[in-house]
Chain A
Amino acid sequence: MNFLAAVGRVFLGFLEHTGRLSVFTVVALSHCVRPPIYHRLIGRQMMEIGYFSLPVVGLTAIFTGMVLALQSHTGFARFSAEGAVATVVVLSVTRELGPVLAGLMVAGRIGAAMAAEIGTMQVTEQVDALVTLSTNPFKYLVAPRIIAGLLMLPCLVLVADIIGVFGGFLVGVYQLGYNPATYLHSSWEYLKPIDVISGLVKASVFGFVISLMGCYNGYHSRGGAQGVGQATTNAVVSASILILTSNYILTALFFNK
């Protein structure tokens, strides 16, 4: 009986959580399109998400491209398919690794920061203060972050794609001895617009997920420093899981023929 009660409690908790997240999402999205739009705040968030994440995303991308080239070369050499290395690098980076790794890195950097900032505002009554100053917290805190996430993740991923492919090129040409012109030709030859576009669409979805989970967990944090810490952890974990889940769904939608 106790076991059934525990299962029921968990299930009801899940339903409550899902319902609350759904309502939060709908309200947040409605504030993204309804005026007034806070351009200054959106700009600030775009700088925070886009510009200040460039170093971490760039470093992740270049080493990923380099490792990919190295691993593909040693693996493909077993069946004399080294010629496919450049194509594998460019397709892997643009379709999967660029958006997913950039998404995970930004989830750790930005999702956590959003949850911590909004969570601290919540537990120190700053969110209540916004309301008493006739300012809707969704419009002031949540909408600018969601819009910036939606717009900036594709830009970051585009940069990550270029840097990742360049990393592969560096290893391919200077360590593995590929001809630069042949490597570049192989990279371009099999690359289609859909490979890049699918990655950018994924990035936009990931940007939305990161901002949403950061804001949602921060907004619902309670109980002082411990609550804010828990919200930060939840924001990163839930965003990471949702990124990987939505990545599979989007990949299936784009490429499952």
Chain B
Amino acid sequence: MTAQAKIQLVDVHKSFGSKSVLDGVTVDIAAGESFVVIGGSGTGKSVMLKCILGLMRPDQGSILVDGEETVGMAARDRERVLKKFGMLFQGAALFDSLSVWENVAFGLIQGLRMDRRKAHDKAIEKLYQVGLGADVAKLSPAELSGGMQKRVALARAIAAEPEIIFFDEPTTGLDPIMADVINDLIVKCVKELGATAVSITHDMHSARKISDRMAMLYHGKLIWVGRTADVDRSDSAYVDQFIHGRADGPIKMELRR
């Protein structure tokens, strides 16, 4: 497994002040697989993704992408490694000052130095791929609904045909039908690109639909890692409570009265 791993996390720790968010996370993600990290809000899922992307630096541990150590990497090398990634942010994170097509083509123009006309055509092609017509290309992101913004963000994430795609809460804030549309698009786009996908979500329907393997993050540790088909037979009371959304169980919500 280790030899073919696309992404490897080894004993990754990250704290904010006295609060430990990642506490020795170790996992291998194979090339071409769709890996989903589930867990409650504030359990460190987004921090884990940001550490892999280099947006945050872990306090301790090692993160390898294609066998290359990325922790403490020089800025130029980081830029090179980031060209392998695409990311769909939770709130879409579209650039307000740019039109829809400029958002989709951003990585092509700025990162890959593609000619604007070519990048425009490619952006339109990617918009079609996520079910949006050329008529939205010139609109501003603020003129789109939440579901359309997510689709534009997905088009932007896949525009440069990355080897690895991250999805941060891809269905949050969407109605069930639109959430399922996004799930289908994720599966289709990842399959077409042959990319490695890492998603974080607490939407179990989405997690089951888009993943090959799952892991559950709780109190900064991956308490269970396994095939999606096995999640209902995890033998973990924590996983059981989470996937069935029960208030009773070992996971206690921190409520202050």
Contacts and interface: CB of A to CB of B under 8 A. Distances in A.
B82 A134 contact: yes
Contacts, number: 54
Interface stretch (A124-132, A157-165, A183-191): A124-132
A133 B111 contact: yes
Interface in B107-154: 107, 110-112
Interface stretch (B28-36, B87-95, B175-183, B211-219): B87-95
A126 B53 contact: no
Nearest to A134: B111
Contact of B85 (A121, A125, A126, A132): A132
Chain A interface residue bracket vs B: 10 to 19
Main secondary structure of the interface of A (DSSP, over half): helix
Q: Looking at chain B, what size class is its interface with the partner chain?
A: 20 to 34
A135 to B, nearest CB: 4
Contacts of A125: 89-91, 93
A132 B82 contact: yes
B55 interface: yes
Interface string A64-84: 000000000000000000000
A227 to B, nearest CB: 15
Given A134-B82, A136-B79, A128 B111 contact: no
Contact of B89 (A129, A135, A136): A129
Nearest to B153: A129
Contact of A129 (B79, B83, B87, B112): B87
B50 interface: yes
Contacts of A131: 53-55, 82
A129 B92 CA distance: 9
Interface string A110-143: 0000000100110011101101111110001000
Contact of B106 (A117, A121, A128, A133): A133
Interface in B225-243: none
A126 B82 CA distance: 16
Given A133-B156, A134-B112, 20 more contacts: A121-B95, A124-B91, A125-B93, A126-B94, A126-B95, A128-B89, A129-B93, A131-B55, A131-B82, A132-B53, A132-B55, A132-B82, A132-B86, A132-B87, A133-B106, A133-B110, A133-B111, A134-B79, A135-B111, A136-B75
9 contacts: A120-B96, A121-B96, A125-B89, A125-B91, A126-B93, A126-B96, A128-B53, A134-B79, A136-B79
Closest 7 CB pairs of A and B: A134-B111, A133-B107, A129-B93, A125-B93, A132-B87, A135-B110, A125-B89
